[in-house]
Amino acid sequence: MKAAIYPGSFDPVTFGHLDIIRRSAEIFDELTVSVLNNKTKTPLFSVEERVKILEEATKDLPNVKIDSFSGLLIDYAKAKNVHVAIRGLRAITDFEYELQIAQTNHKLSGGRLDTMFLTTTLEYAYLSSSSVKEIASFGGDISQCVPEFVARLIYEKYGIGENG
C-alpha cells in the first residue's frame, strides 16, 4: 500500500491545500494530512480546531485521514512507517525553502523520507493562509480562498460579520 503524509500548519486550510490533498489522494492509497503543533507560533485556530476543519473539508475523500504531530517530521513519519511527504509548490519563491527542508529530511532520515512536490494549480498560486487571514481581519472577501464554512469560522475569530 502506498501511503504519504501531507504536513503543514493549515491555519487555516485553503483551496490551494485542498487542491493538493485531492490530487495526492488520487496518487496514493492512503494520505494522512497532519497538522503541525508548533509551540513557537501563535495560530488563529488551535490544533484541535484545524483537525476538525480539515476533517470536514475532506469528508468526501475516503482515503484521507487527518492527524496532528509535534516535533520532527522524520520521527513522525518513521512512527507511522510512511516514506513520502507531500508539499505543494506555488512559485519559485517557495522552492528554496522547500528544497532545504526536503534535503534536510532526506539526510536526517537516512534516506527513508522523500518529499514529493506537487505544483499548485495556477488558479490557487496566489493563495496563502497568511493573506487569507489578513484579508479576513479587515472584513475582506475570502470566498474564493477557502470553503464557506471555513470563511465563517475565520470571520468569527476576528469578531466580524461576513464581509464586513
Residues forming the site for ligand PNS (CB under 6 A): 7-9, 36, 72-73, 101, 104-105
Nearer to ligand PNS, 52 or 160 (CB): 52
To the nearest whole angstrom, how small is the minimum distance from the Cβ of residue 27 to ligand PNS? 18
Nearer to ligand PNS, 42 or 62 (CB): 42
To the nearest whole angstrom, how small is the minimum distance from the Cβ of residue 23 to ligand PNS? 17
Active site residues: 17, 41, 90, 129
To the nearest whole angstrom, how small is the minimum distance from the Cβ of residue 105 to ligand PNS? 6
Enter the C-alpha cell of residue 44: 488563529
Nearer to ligand PNS, 7 or 12 (CB): 7
Q: Which residue is nearest to ligand PNS (CB)?
A: 8
